[in-house]
Structure 1
Amino acid sequence: MTLDWSGCRNARDLGGLPTADGRHIREGALVRSGSHDLLPETAAAAVRGGGVARIVDLRGRSECEERPSPFAGEPLYRHVPMVAEVLDYVPPPDTYAPMLDRHRHRIGAAFRAVAEAPSGAVVVHCQAGRDRTGVLVALLLSVARVAPGHVAEDYARTDGCDARTMLSTLAHLEERYAGAAAYLAGSGVDQGELEAVRRRLVGRAGDGRRRNAPDRLGTCPNLRCPPVPKTPPSTPTS
């Protein structure tokens, strides 16, 4: 079934990204997007019947109240606010390091929501599908052994984003915490949950082609996405 995410910003399947051991992220395993409140009802109904096992909403309480998810309260939906409702810092323009440092257990809870999902596709989103979604996706892909350059390349496909911001964030993760797995282990994620994410995301050796390339935006199989507008890089927010 083809799922229509055209009511969402920055929607795409992460399938096809290469891993360091020569495999690929499995198509239909992980989808990232912005808020779902503008999804047409027909599209929301297709999501419910289209093999999506879990939707992880990373937004804060006030965002969810102002723009409710059409899936709120349903078995597939999990609301896991990934940052505090009110930030006690000013987000810098070129890294998500403060988000990683100040919200470890919230980020760990969001990662576990993916690790513990039933079999099927997992969709992660925040409001714009950029900052919080970008950090969680970077952690998921890093645990699946996708190289930093490819993680940053995917991040840069999001409107207003610069690959250098994600490269800086991943460098901080490595330098301060010795990498994503060690960071998550200190954020309440156990070894079994790390392995569960690897099994969920990574296809068998030799499976698949890289269909999630930058020049194929909006053509990912089983996913119809709006084109990403070309806007100048933005400051990371939350």
Structure 2
Amino acid sequence: MTSLPAQAQESPPIANLRALPAISPLRVFRSAALHRLGAAGREALTNLDLAAVIDLRELGEIMDAPDELEGSCASAAWISIPLYQGPVPLSTPIDRVYRDLLERRQPQLCAAVSALARYAASGVLVHCKAGKDRTGLVVGLSLAAAGVSRDIIATDYARSGSALPPEYREHVTAMVQAAGLDGAEAATAHELHLESPPAALLSALDFVDTTYGSVSEYLHAGGVTAAELDALATPLTERSVQESTS
């Protein structure tokens, strides 16, 4: 069994594929959608030896580009949790998209974190289309609940935009042009789909702290159990105990 290091190779066989930082030995990975993998992508999935894959995309997105798990991790549980529950936003400001998800899709976000926590020890990968926004928010909430520092969370999130492949960037540009967007609207759309500014995720996490008291309280209110929260926090808890007794 092979695991990816937190700092994955510059051009992984699957866009945005990498391990979550600072929670080893938990085996939690993130990526873009698992379609059109090719031999290298299928080999990468096989080596991860996943117990579950969490797909955050809408049903239409899944139908257009279904995950290709056969031959790489066909035995893994495939868990579909569409986050938007409707159309994928095109040119909404990124801060607004994250705030809307937190306010309107708390049950879905918490279901994704619960699934991630349940399979964290045995191997789980969470993804959306680009592996940036929906995945970034679920990962950010999970890492924050685990006690990972906001600096580490923001640094990991910031990698997502720059890791998008040229063909995806071309796809977004064509989509924006087809929608007739220009000027400020086009710039907003490009930021939403192609960039990962740390301030956007940090602002979302700050909103949770201010509104709900803490990320853990937000998740618990949305159905994440105490045992699942403990499972996420175990690595840092054990590390703290080891450091205090050394």
TM-score range, shorter chain: 0.7 to 0.9
Q: Displacement of 1:204 after TM fit? A: 4.0
State how far apart, in whole Å, the 1-side matches of 2:40 and 2:91 are.
40
Q: Displacement of 1:202 after TM fit? A: 4.2
Greater shift in the superposed pair: 103-112 or 80-89: 80-89
Contact 2:83 2:101 in 1 (8 A): no
Identity %: 28
State how far apart, in whole Å, the 1-side matches of 2:92 and 2:75 are.
34
Residue deviations 1:13-54, cap 9 Å, x none? 123x3xxxxxxx205621111011021245325524542222
Q: Which residue of 1 aligns with 2:116?
A: 114
**Going by fraction, where is helix more abundant, 1 or 2?**
2
Q: Which residue of 1 aligns with 2:105?
A: 103
- What 5-or-longer segments of structure 1 have no aligned partner? 18-24, 208-238
Aligned pairs (5 A) from 1:21-170 = 25-26=23-24, 29-41=27-39, 43-45=41-43, 47-48=45-46, 50-71=48-69, 74-76=74-76, 77-86=78-87, 91-94=92-95, 96-117=98-119, 119-159=121-161, 160-170=195-205
State how far apart, in whole Å, the 2-side matches of 1:173 and 1:130 are.
19
What TM-score, normalized by structure 1, do the two folds share?
Answer: 0.73
Residue deviations 1:162-214, cap 9 Å, x none? 11111111110110111111101111112112112223x5484289xxxxxxx
Secondary structure, counterpart of 2:159 in structure 1: coil
Aligned pairs (5 A) from 1:211-230 = none
- What 5-or-longer segments of structure 2 have no aligned partner? 162-194, 242-246
Q: Please tell me whether residue 205 in structure 1 is matched to residue 239 in structure 2.
A: yes
State how far apart, in whole Å, the 2-side matches of 1:80 and 1:185 are.
18
State how far apart, in whole Å, the 2-side matches of 1:118 and 1:144 are.
12
Q: Please tell me whether residue 189 in structure 1 is matched to residue 187 in structure 2.
A: no
State how far apart, in whole Å, the 1-side matches of 2:116 and 2:154 are.
21
Q: Displacement of 1:57 after TM fit? A: 1.0
Structural RMSD (CA): 2.8
Secondary structure, counterpart of 1:120 in structure 2: coil
